[in-house]
Structure 1
C-alpha cells in the first residue's frame, strides 16, 4: 500500500474558445475600465489572444497546441472561482474534487490515485512555478490576468512532465507609470455568503511599482449534517492575499517578485457512502470533521535581454503548506470509523531559460529545471481507525517522503518556407522518490526506507502550415511521461515500485478566422497510446490489501475537439466541445472493495469472479462528451451598458474506477450546469446579479474510499465593483 493509497482510504479538427473578454463581468484588472471602453469601440473586432506556455508570447491562432485562454473577466462571467469549475469552461476536462485531493484529467489522462507518490499528469502553474501536485486544491482565483488550459502532453517545458495537459494561472502584475489604479468588489449571496476582493497598483518610482490584492469569503455550510459529530459543519472561512513588486531599471532588465498567502478553512469535506440514495446534502456523521489548508508561495522572476535579442530568464519558487483533514471514514452514524492527517509539504524549484528572438527563420529555447518536493507526516497525525482508539484497530504512519526532479529541455524552430515551419522539442528528465517512514499496521510495526529512480526522454515534432492569413494547419507527434513511485509495505514484505506512465500522442489541427474576424474556430483530432496506467487494485496475492500497479497493456484514447468565438455587433458567443473514445488494454485485477483470496496476475489472470478482466473497458474520468457554451448581449441605455449572459456546460457520465461496478457507486452521472449573470456598467461602478448551477443539480463530484462527494448547489447573489 503506497502513501497515496493511504489517502484513498479517506478520501485538431474541432469548436472550443479563444475565450476573450466579451463584456463586463467583474473587475479582475486595474485597467478594466479602459479595457471596457476599448471593447465598446471595437465590438466587432476580435482581439489577438496569446499563449505564453512555451516561454514566449505567441498568437494562439498560429501556435500548434489545443488550448483555452480565459481572462480574469471571463472567469467571473463563467462563474469560475476555483480549479474544479474549469471543467465547465473548456473541452475534454474533468475535475473531480474530494476536498483534500483532486482528480484533474484532460483527455482522460491526469490523476486517478490519491497519494503523495503518484504525481499528476495535469500540472498547474501559478505565476510560472509548478504548484502542489494534489493537495491545496481550493486556492481561489482572484486578480487574475489569464488562465491557459493546454490539452495534450506538455512535457518539453518546465515543471514535472505533463502527460495530460497543463494549466497556467497568471495573476496581474504591477504596472510602472500607471499611477494608483485598482478595484474593490463586495459580494452578498445565499448561504449567508459574504465576500470581499480588491487590488491596487501602487507607483513607487519611475522604475518600481507594487500591486497588492486580497480575497476573503465567508459562507455557511451547504450540508445538513446530523450526528453526533464534532468539529465543523463545512462552513467556509477563507482569506488570501498577494503582494507583487516589479523593478525595471532599464529596458533590458525586469525583476518581478510575488508572494501569496492562503488560509483556507473549508470546515469539512462531508461525504456519505457511494451507494447511498438520500439527498447528498443531508448526511449523518459521528466523527470529528475538519478541513484546513494554510500555505504560502513566493516567486522571483528575472528577465534580461542581451544586445543580440537573446533573453535570459530565471524563475525561482518556494512553496510551503500544511493541510489538516479529519473525516468520518464510513460516512454514516454507524460505529465510528475515522481518518485524520496533518501533512506538511515544501517545494523548492528553479528554472533557467535562454530564449532566442522570434524574428528570423531560426528560433530556439534552451532550459534547465530542478525541483525538490518533501512531504512530512508528523508523529501521531496520520491515523486510520476502524474504529480508532487502540493500536490493534488503527493504521498510523509517520516520516518523510522527499522527491527530486531535474531536467534539461529545448526547442528549435525553422521556417522551411514563408508559410511552412518545422518545430522540434526535446526534454530529458530524472526523478527520484524516497520513503523514510514507519508504519504501525493494526499493531504490526513496519519500516520503509525505499528509493526509486526514473529517467525519461520526451519530445515533440510539429509541422506548421500557414495556409493563408485566415487558416493555420498543424500536425505533430508528441510523447510524455510521468514518474512512477513506491508502495508502502503491508505486512507482506516490501512490494515492488510502480513504473512510470508514458503517452504517445498524434494530433492534427486547423485554426481559422471567418467573416472578417467576426468568428474564430479551432478544431483538432488526437489519438493517445497510453502505456503503464497507474492504478490501485487488490494486492495480486492477497487482495484484502491494496497496491498500485501499472496496466501491462496500452490504453487507446481518441477524440475530436472544437472551439469557437464570435462577435456580431452587441452579440458575443463562445463555446466548445470534446468527444472521446477510450479502450483499456487487457488487464486482470482484484477489486480491493470485494473480499477475495484467489491470486490474480495482472497480465494473465486467470479470470474469475474476483479476478476481473478489464480489457476494453473505458478509461477512468474520460467522459465521451463535454460541451460548454456561452452567449451574451450588450444593451446601451444612455452611457450605461447592461449585459445579460447565460452559460451552459454538459459533462457526460464517467467511470471513477476501472471496475465499472454501478452497484458500488463507480458511475458518476452526467453534469448539466446552467449559470448566468446580468451586469450593469454605470460610470466606474459595475453591479452584477449572478447565479451558478441555476437548476440546482445535485451531482456527485468525486468518488473516493467508497464515499461520494457532491458538487456545489445553486448559488445566487449580487456583486458590486468600484473601479478607481
Structure 2
C-alpha cells in the first residue's frame, strides 16, 4: 500500500534540507569562491550596464514543444550550442559530462553503454525488463535503449538537458530528466566542410560534410565520418590495447519547403562502433584463486579477447504545417534499430576461468502528432498524441573455463524477448493572469502494455534453471504538472512547480539465482522545484538558480548483491523510499567583447530513506547514499577570442571540472567508493578568412588518473574503470562557402 504524497514539502524534511543548503552556502570555501567570482563579474561588466554592444547568444530551445528562449521557460535546463561543444572538444554526448551540472555518465562500464544519472537518479541496468530513467531524443525521436544514448555530435546544432521529472511532455522514460539533441538541417546554401583530427594514441579522424540545394525548394546534406584511435589500456596477456575507438558515422538529410507553410524533413542516420574494450580492470590488491591480478591503472592481464560492438540505424520523418491563424501541426515519425554485443572477462586474470557474452537487438517505431497554439495574450497550449512500440531480444551467456570449480566447461544462457506498446495523450499550457503572473500546467495519460519471454538454461548448477517464463503487465498512469511563475521584469523570471514522475514495473531478465525477485513494481516520484532565471547588463550576464526536492516511492534498484561465497549476483528490486534534494547555479558572463566565462555548480544529496534488507544478506541500507550521486560538482570555462589580422582571429578555451566523491553501489562500502576527481582541458586555435580553422587541443591536461566505477564481479573480484589519460592533438577544419 502506497503512502500519500505531501502537496507541500513536509516541515521536518524542509527544515533539514534548508539547513543543509544554508550550511553549505555559508561554508568558507563556497562563500569565498562565490564572492570572488561575483565581484569579478560585477566589476568587469558594470561599465556596460547602460551601453549597447555584444551580448550572449540567445539559444532557442524546444523543451516545451515550441521555439522559445531558454531564459524564458520555467524549467531547469542547460543549453549548449555547437560553438561551446566544439570548444570543450566533445565528440559524443558523454564527453560533455563535466560541463553539465548535476549529470553523471560514470555508470557505464564501457565506451558506448550510455548510462546516465541526473540529480543522482540514473539507470545502471543493461536489463531489457526495465526502462531507462533518462530519455534521450534526437530531433524529437526517442533513441531507445541506453546503448544508443551516447551519440555522435558531429552535426549538432545544440543540446538541451532538462533536469528533474519531465513526464508530462516526455513520458515515463524521463523520471530523472530528458536530453534533446537538435541537429543541423539542410538549407538553400552551397557549402561543405572537411574536418581532420589527429593526436596521440594514433588518433585519426576524418569527417566530410556537404550541403546542396537540389532545387529551389528541396535541400540535402550529407555527413560521413570515421575515427580510429588506439586504446590506452594494455592487455599484457594477449599483447593488445583496449579502450580504443573504431567508429563510422553517416547521415543523409533532406528538407522540402515547396508547399506554403509546410516543412518536410527526412533523415537517415547510421553509426557503427567496433572496439576492443574491457568492462573493467582489477583494482589494487585484487586476487582470484590465489593468483595476484594486474592492478596497475591501464594494465590488465585477461585471457579473453574482449570486444564491444554496436550498430545504430535510424529514419526520422518530420512534418510541420503552420495555419493562417498561426497554429502549428507537427508530425514526427521515428524508426530505429539498435544492435549491441560485448564479450567480457569475468575473472580478470590470464587463467581460463569464465567469460560472458551479451547480445541485444531492439527495433523501435514511434509516432507523435501535436498541435501547438500561437502565443496568446491570455495563454497558449500544446496538445499531443504519442505512440511507441519496441521489440527487444537478448542473449546472455556465461561460459566457464577448464579450471573453473565446481563446474568446468559449463554455461548458463538466458535468452529473452520483450515487447512494449505505449500510447499517450498530453496537454500542456500556460495561462497569463497578468503581465507578471502566470500558471503552467500539464497532464499526460499513459497506457503501457509489456510482455516478456525469458528462459534460463544452466548447466553450472549456480543459477536458476527455468525452462520458460512468459508474463504480461499493463500500466495506466496520469502524470500531472503544476507551476506558478512571476515575471519580475522583462529579464528576470521566478518560478515554482510540482511534477509527477513515473517508471513502469518489469522483470529482472538477467543471470539470477531465484525467481523470488524476478518481478518488480513501478516507481513513483514527485518533484518540488523553485528557481530563478535572470539576464543582466544588456544581456551580457545570465544567472540561473534552481532548488529541488524529489521524493520516490518503490524506487527500482539495480545492484550487485554479495553472496555467501564472496561473489555477487544481479538484483533488481524496489527500495522503499528515496529522496534527492539540492541546489544548482549556472552563470554565463561576457566580461568584455573578447572574453567570456561560464560557471556552474551543484549540491545534491540523494539518499535511501528506506531500503530494508537492501544488501540481500539481511543488511538495511536506510540512509545510504544512492550510487553515482556526488554531493558536490562544479565547472568553469574561460573563452577568449580576438582579431589579429583583417581576416583572422585567434581564440582560446580552458575549462576545469570537479566532481566530489560518490559510491558506485548502494551498500556504500569503502571498496565501492569513488574518490573525488577533477579534469582540465584546453584548446587554442586560429580562424582564417572564415574558411580555415586550425586548433591545438588537450584533454586531461594534468594527466589525472581518476577511478570512475567500482564493483565486485560475480566471482568476487574487485574491479573498476579509470578515466582516459591525457590526450592531445591537432584539429583542422576547412569550410567551402
TM range (shorter): 0.7 to 0.9
Cα distance, 1:704 vs. partner?
5.3
Which moves more between the two structures, 362-371 or 335-344? Answer: 335-344
**Aligned equivalents of 1:637, 1:285: Cα separation in 2:** 53
Deviation of 1:165 (Å): 0.7
**What is the CA-CA distance between 1:474 and the residue it aligns to?**
0.7
Partner residue of 1:713 out of 689, 709, 725: 725
Give the SS at the match of 2:401: coil
Change (3 A) 1:537 1:166: closer
Question: What is the alpha-carbon distance in structure 1 between the residues aligned to residue 513 and residue 229 of structure 2?
Answer: 45
- Relative distance call for 1:537 and 1:712 in structure 2 (3 A) is closer
CA contact (8 A) 2:186 2:254 kept: yes
Partner of 1:581: 605
CA gap of 1:550–1:720, structure 2 versus 1, over 3 A, is same
Quick one: distance in 1 between partners of 2:327 and 2:547?
35
Residue from 192, 197, 215 that aligns with 2:202 = 192
Task: Name 2:632's counterpart in structure 1.
Answer: 625
Cα 1:492/1:101, change in 2 over 3 Å: same
Secondary structure of the residue aligned to 1:523 is strand
Q: CA deviation at 1:101?
A: 2.5
1:704–1:305 Cα change, 3 Å:
farther
Question: Aligned pair 1:441/2:458, yes or no?
Answer: yes
Out of 106, 109, 132, the residue aligned to residue 98 of structure 1 is 109
Q: Deviations over 1:39-97 (max 9, x none)?
A: xxx97212222220211011111100111111122111112122222221111111112
Distance 1:258 1:531 in 2: 40
- Does 2:523 correspond to 1:506? no
Q: Which residue of structure 2 lines up, in the alignment, with residue 222 of structure 1?
A: 232
Structure-2 residue corresponding to 1:431: 448
Contact 1:125 1:131 in 2 (8 A): yes
Q: Contact conserved, 2:234 with 2:241, CA < 8 A, in 1?
A: no
Q: 1:55 to 1:538 in 2, by over 3 A?
A: closer
Matches of 1:349 and 1:312 in 2, distance apart? 17
The answer to whether the Cα contact below 8 Å between 1:344 and 1:376 also exists between their aligned partners in 2 is yes
Report deviation, 1:211: 0.8
Aligned to 2:558: 536
Q: Which segment drifts farther, 304-313 or 501-510?
A: 304-313
2:182 aligned partner: 170
Structure 2 CA distance for aligned equivalents of residues 329 and 286 of structure 1 = 10
Match of 2:508 in 1: 487
State which of 257, 277, 289 in structure 1 corresponds to 2:266: 257
1:550 & 1:492 partners in 2: Cα distance?
16
> Alignment RMSD, CA only?
2.6
1:464 aligned to which of 477, 482, 485: 485
1:395 to partner: Cα distance: 1.1
CA drift of 1:494 comes to 6.3
2:586 maps to what in 1? 563
Distance 1:435 1:467, change over 3 A: same
CA contact (8 A) 2:586 2:599 kept: yes
Aligned mates of 1:384, 1:275 — CA distance in 2: 25
**Are the structure 2 counterparts of residues 220 and 428 from structure 1 closer, same or farther at C-alpha, using a change threshold of 3 Å?**
same
Instruction: Give 1:272's match in structure 2, choosing from 257, 278, 281.
Output: 281
**Shift in Å, 1:198:** 2.7
Distance 2:153 2:697 in 1: 17
Contact 1:362-1:414 at 8 Å conserved across structures = yes
Q: Secondary structure at the match of 1:584?
A: strand
Structure 1 position 351 matched with structure 2 position 384 = no
**8 A contact 2:199–2:727 mirrored in 1:** yes
2:87 maps to 1:77? yes
Q: Is the 8 A contact 1:540 1:589 kept in 2?
A: no
Query: Is the aligned partner of 1:656 residue 2:664?
Result: yes
Partner of 1:386: 400
Say which is worse superposed, 516-525 or 151-160, in terms of deviation: 151-160
**Cα distance, 1:631–1:234 mapped onto 2, change above 3 Å:** closer
Task: Give the equivalent residue in structure 1 for 2:303.
Answer: 286
Give the 5 Å matches for 1:296-315.
Answer: 296-315=313-332
State how far apart, in whole Å, the 1-side matches of 2:98 and 2:441 are.
Answer: 33
Greater length-normalized contact order (CA 8 Å, ≥ 6 residues apart): 1
- The match for 1:572 is 596
Task: Go from structure 1 to structure 2 and tell me whether the alpha carbon gap of 1:513 and 1:184 turns closer, same or farther (over 3 Å shift).
Answer: same
Structure 1 residue 151 corresponds to structure 2 residue 163? yes
Is 1:674–2:680 an aligned residue pair? yes
| Alignment CA distance shift 1:719-1:506 (3 Å) | same
Q: Which residue of 2 aligns with 1:364?
A: 381
Do the aligned residues in 2 keep the contact of 1:130 with 1:160 (CA within 8 Å)?
Answer: no
> What are the Cα deviations for residues 193-248 of structure 1, in whole angstroms up to 9, with x where unaligned?
0101232211011111001112211111111111148x974432211010000001
Cα deviation for residue 490 of structure 1 reads 4.5
Secondary structure of the structure 2 residue equivalent to 1:681: strand
1:433 deviates by 2.3
Runs (5+) with no aligned partner, structure 1: 1-11, 17-41, 593-609
Q: TM-score, normalised by structure 1?
A: 0.87
CA distance in 2, matches of 1:137, 1:50: 23
**Counterparts of 1:538 and 1:204, CA distance in 2:** 55
Q: CA deviation at 1:515?
A: 2.0
CA contact (8 A) 2:400 2:409 kept: no
Q: Is the 1:298–1:318 contact (alpha carbons within 8 Å) kept by the matching residues of 2?
A: yes
In structure 2, how many angstroms separate the alpha carbons of the residues matched to 1:621 and 1:138?
A: 18
1:342 positional shift? 2.0
Query: Which residue does 1:549 correspond to in 2?
Result: 573
1:474 to 495, 499, 504: 495
Is residue 497 of structure 1 aligned with residue 519 of structure 2? Answer: yes
* Cα 1:215–1:589 shift into 2, 3 Å: farther
Q: 1:697 aligns with which of 693, 698, 704?
A: 704
C-alpha distance in 1 between matches for 2:559 and 2:168: 31
What is the CA–CA distance in structure 2 between the aligned matches of 1:589 and 1:272, rounded to whole Å?
29
The alpha carbon displacement at 1:273 in A equals 2.8
Moved more, 482-491 or 497-506: 482-491
Is the 1:219–1:237 contact (alpha carbons within 8 Å) kept by the matching residues of 2?
yes
Match of 1:641 in 2: 649
Is residue 420–residue 451 contact of structure 2 (8 Å, CA) maintained in 1?
A: yes
CA contact (8 A) 2:607 2:625 kept: yes
**How far apart in 2 are the matches of 1:122 and 1:225?**
34
Q: Distance in 2 between matches of 1:62 and 1:234?
A: 42
Correspondence 1:375 to 2:392: yes
User: Which digits, 9 at most, give the CA deviation of each residue in 1:104-160, with x for residues without a partner?
Assistant: 111111213331222111111112111123123443211110111111111111454
Deviations 1:457-487 (A, max 9, x none): 1111111111112311111111111111113
Shifted more, 362-371 versus 78-87: the winner is 78-87
